[in-house]
Structure 1
């Protein structure tokens, strides 16, 4: 309103001016062109010499204020009213009063007339306006394109000293952050440090310094120093030769007072137990208001409550009211939490492209309907479905139902959203070891040919000393989660120094196994096996080799107790393994016996990148003479999975020709130092062991091998390359043995 009234006032003054000049001659004289009083050399000589008569009014106002104000036309209070016409304004003006007489008026002073272009003489009514001058041609030209302007930033005086195109160097000095343990984090995020001490000009250095000021303040506030300030200065020291040295940026951080929690308030619905929220918000009164600690405490609420029956908890935005006027710097902390209903497990539902129906889906849960909700069991269900390998995507989400149980909890259904993935897989492995030669295996698997989870696996083995084919039917999660049933049929030819055998096998097996996704503490396997084999065997009675046929029936069993932290590349923990297989060998007569093997491994992290690993293994065969055993069922030592440095199956008793004939017992020991750097590793190792003709192993005549290995770590396990040499070499043993495979030795 005030701004609009001011505009009308000046407009009214402009309109009144012509009549005002007419009413007051003195004012009219000032307004007449060419009649302005002369000054300087233009003054009359009488005035310059001081002989002119003085004005009796002196410095008194020509028009008194009262007369001036009375001459102004009245203003309307309506700012939107139209302007009055000039005639009405003249009619409303009071009659001009004659000017008071002036004693001895001085003669008018002639002045040089102004040019016509500068004349301020108003046009009389009815006068015609002269022709408009032609438009300046410069104004008609198009504007200069923006792209033609120079966009290079202005340079400072320091920039010019360095030269327009030269690069400047600078050093950085940070003060005040080391005491708060923020120096390392600041340097990792610093714009000045990112520039590596180089910039195009000083303006760029100053901009980086301002960014680092804000960074330092943020870091200090994150620790609870909310009054923190940071100031940077640019210094230009002079070298001994008088030339300017490198620019120096000094950033000084002042943390100020440390703010602490004065109170902790949680705004939420009642929970069961009542202190569930407060107990799981690990904050205490008096602690610094540290951002990372507060965010971690709030994340703990979001993590723990779904494990305690509250799947729909929502943590709101915290409010911290700082008090900086008191003797202590404190803050009142308030956290709103929407807990949602306390819930129990309901039923499974499914959407999407169904890979499994509800009947098979209900094999996987490890919870019962009506059990208090626990998000860890929901994650366990999702992981089990992922482990099947049949999904491109799988999601398990709790859904509210509105069904209220008698205890007041709400039954929550789990919706399983399925996205089918490829069910067919081609796989291959290859390896090489001295004594065993090259061995490659390829397989084709259809994991869901016989739904649900009925897989058909066809495999072929090709190598310098082993060839074979096999077919397997496998039912995963067979009536119970993690239980697998297999039916196996295979035929192979194995040609080693110990024996040359043609083997056919039919077997069934039930197992509870670990997988890389789901490693279990206890696993087992049991089954039945029928094997027919035709093998070459050394006949000590005849003093020569001959071929013999064996029929073997076995009931193999396996139990593993695993406390390691990884299935393929363990770094801590231990494992215990027991094999037990009652068998009967038929070659002219029935010879029942029992094959046993016990093995223990340990893994100790000596340093962050060094793991000490060890293994001990012992085997024994009871109830049968060695010569009544098929050579392929005997125990042999040596090779990449046994005592490295010796050939495959080369340790143990030998025939007169120097070929191994195997034994009824075995012992092995190994020790490795696994040093890792990035994706690579170096592993020095020493192995020991032997096989024996007796039923129990002996500590005598141990053979030792030592060497060094290289590891290349991948996402599916380490690639292993080991080179070893026998330490107590026998005649016929090689000096160097090489082993290449996937996975650690044990």
Structure 2
């Protein structure tokens, strides 16, 4: 590779005085070119960094004598620059010549063969020798026999071993041997690096500095027990858990190694609580709901036991609701809570009307990556479908399982979502009707290439034990809308009565396939095809919709604008769909 740079601002003038004396001065306007051949990448960068002639070329008072002195050093400096990369037999041919513009310094470099490592004695001594983390780290070393000696790899190895020792609680770890022996006659290198890890420290007491919550509750967030081997990742886990709890706005964790007693380290946790009250307001629009507005109040810390209260008022063109819930952290406050709920809502669509009052209690738990909710609800509903009005009282035990596979739910490259909902009522338990309803829904996102995403969505449901006429509106299945079959109005698809009025079905089947292509920054285009129906008889005709859309990635999720055609309606009318929210 050939590299050249140029610089103006100086020239050289010569004057002969008294026969043999060379006087040196600076003359502005000439240039100095520096050319290096035979090197590239990091070797070239390091050679340039070592070259004094490169570093001094912009000096305003640089003279011809100074240039020649710097040029004479250049060969040795380039050779020195290549040694950290294992090249100890570099040869450099240099030339300094005048040009019409000034001077040209040329260096032709043969880096020679890299110095091979013939001995690599890298080990961990003491109790740490049996630690699987050190064993795995030693397998990843770049200092193996036969590999070239690169000094940066040696230093990185030392740093990685020191960092791992600190993360694993070997606070007394020291290098008892750390040396590189270079034999230039045999042209080989030997590395000896011995880390004496010492004894692994253990967790002592975890002490919380705060007045907001009961210490007994906070101890349930600690992912380790006193006496467990020290692990730095456990402290990061504790910090994340306390921040995610929404009780604290700042968490500072300090292991006090200087206070260790018999290799037991106390841990101090300094907590800054959030404001106990939070107020929220929201505005939005969706083609299913129309314009909507919401306001909420959350009391995030009612008492030292960590109880919370939250209420929300939501108003839209088709649905109004007022809800409240009271939650209590239980066995594992990071994932488990007992929740009491109350809600009153009214919803009126083109096909039904529902006024619903609900009281409920639920236990929410996270089992591995699954989140499950066991609940029981007391529900009174006054509904009207196709002119038939009914009042229904239900006691609904149920369970919901949910799981999301994704690292970023706002902008998913590859991910999945699955929901399973099982609930029902029994006349033996006080409900007006007996039934069992199951619903399973999923969404899957794949990125076959950088700019494209394939998105699949499906939704299946079935109700057993009751006729459609017995079910209130909230327990019937309808299809159509932004998240169902696009091209059709919200909940406009389903079985009809003798007068052609949609009355809903006891079963549901919806599927969708979409291709999205990013064409500029946050903007993407999409093509999609939806199919599905709510039904009583699987033989009933399905409804299909297809179209195209525009996507814009925002801080709160994807804004989706779709134009969909109803393929099974007379005239194949088009319908606009607008929705915003996360992918999963």
TM-score bucket of the superposed structures, by smaller chain: 0.7 to 0.9
Contact kept in structure 1, 2:37 and 2:109, CA below 8 Å? yes
Equivalent residues in 2 for 1:622-637, closer than 5 Å: 622-637=464-479
Which protein has the larger Cα radius of gyration, Structure 1 or Structure 2? Answer: 1
Question: More strand per residue: 1 or 2?
Answer: 2
Task: Report deviation, 1:605.
Answer: 3.2
1:155 matched to 2:17: no
Note closer, same or farther for the CA distance 1:278–1:635 as it changes in structure 2 (3 Å cut): closer
Match of 1:497 among 350, 359, 363: 350
Gaps of 5+ in 2: 1-7, 14-26, 52-57
Structure 2 residue aligned with 1:328: 187
Note closer, same or farther for the CA distance 1:673–1:413 as it changes in structure 2 (3 Å cut): farther
Task: Report deviation, 1:483.
Answer: 0.2
Q: How many residues align?
A: 545
**SS in structure 2 of the partner of residue 653 of structure 1:** coil
Contact kept in structure 2, 1:556 and 1:580, CA below 8 Å? yes
| Residues in 1 aligned to 2:179 and 2:238: alpha-carbon distance in whole angstroms | 39
1:451 matched to 2:309: no
1:737 matched to 2:576: yes
Structure 1 residue aligned with 2:230: 373
1:463 matched to 2:316: yes
Equivalent residues in 2 for 1:687-726, closer than 5 Å: 687-694=529-536, 700-714=541-555, 717-726=556-565
Q: Deviations over 1:694-728 (max 9, x none)?
A: 27x569524132322313153xx533223131251
Deviates more, 1:727-736 or 1:717-726: 727-736
| Residues in 2 aligned to 1:433 and 1:392: alpha-carbon distance in whole angstroms | 33
**SS in structure 1 of the partner of residue 240 of structure 2:** helix
1:673 matched to 2:515: yes
When the two structures are superposed, what TM-score results if normalisation uses the length of structure 2?
A: 0.78
Structure 2 residue aligned with 1:339: 197
Structure 1 residue aligned with 2:383: 535
Task: Report deviation, 1:497.
Answer: 1.0
Note closer, same or farther for the CA distance 1:200–1:286 as it changes in structure 2 (3 Å cut): closer
| Residues in 2 aligned to 1:641 and 1:465: alpha-carbon distance in whole angstroms | 16
Note closer, same or farther for the CA distance 1:711–1:445 as it changes in structure 2 (3 Å cut): same
Task: Report deviation, 1:623.
Answer: 0.8
| Residues in 2 aligned to 1:215 and 1:687: alpha-carbon distance in whole angstroms | 67
**SS in structure 1 of the partner of residue 391 of structure 2:** strand
| Residues in 1 aligned to 2:233 and 2:362: alpha-carbon distance in whole angstroms | 31
Q: Deviations over 1:223-243 (max 9, x none)?
A: 4336668899899988xxxxx
Match of 1:442 among 292, 295, 300: 295
Note closer, same or farther for the CA distance 1:425–1:589 as it changes in structure 2 (3 Å cut): closer
Structure 2 residue aligned with 1:507: 360
Note closer, same or farther for the CA distance 1:614–1:290 as it changes in structure 2 (3 Å cut): farther
Note closer, same or farther for the CA distance 1:280–1:727 as it changes in structure 2 (3 Å cut): same
Task: Report deviation, 1:636.
Answer: 1.6
Contact kept in structure 1, 2:410 and 2:558, CA below 8 Å? no
Match of 1:225 among 49, 72, 87: 87
Match of 2:396 among 526, 529, 554: 554
Structure 1 residue aligned with 2:484: 642
| Residues in 1 aligned to 2:503 and 2:171: alpha-carbon distance in whole angstroms | 67
Task: Report deviation, 1:217.
Answer: 8.2
Gaps of 5+ in 1: 1-152, 159-163, 192-198, 239-243, 405-409, 515-519, 539-544
Note closer, same or farther for the CA distance 1:480–1:236 as it changes in structure 2 (3 Å cut): same
Select the structure with the greater relative contact order (CA < 8 A; seq sep ≥ 6): 2
Task: Report deviation, 1:527.
Answer: 0.8
Task: Report deviation, 1:287.
Answer: 2.0
Structure 1 residue aligned with 2:253: 396
Note closer, same or farther for the CA distance 1:226–1:322 as it changes in structure 2 (3 Å cut): farther
Structure 2 residue aligned with 1:280: 137
Contact kept in structure 2, 1:430 and 1:741, CA below 8 Å? no
Match of 2:212 among 338, 347, 355: 355
Deviates more, 1:558-567 or 1:265-274: 265-274
Task: Report deviation, 1:579.
Answer: 0.9
> Over the residues paired in the alignment, what is the CA RMSD in angstroms?
4.5
1:271 matched to 2:127: yes
Match of 2:150 among 290, 293, 313: 290
Structure 1 residue aligned with 2:221: 364
Contact kept in structure 1, 2:336 and 2:366, CA below 8 Å? yes
Task: Report deviation, 1:524.
Answer: 0.7
| Residues in 1 aligned to 2:77 and 2:450: alpha-carbon distance in whole angstroms | 32
| Residues in 2 aligned to 1:291 and 1:678: alpha-carbon distance in whole angstroms | 43
Task: Report deviation, 1:646.
Answer: 2.4
| Residues in 1 aligned to 2:565 and 2:427: alpha-carbon distance in whole angstroms | 35
Structure 2 residue aligned with 1:7: none
**SS in structure 2 of the partner of residue 662 of structure 1:** coil
Structure 1 residue aligned with 2:341: 488
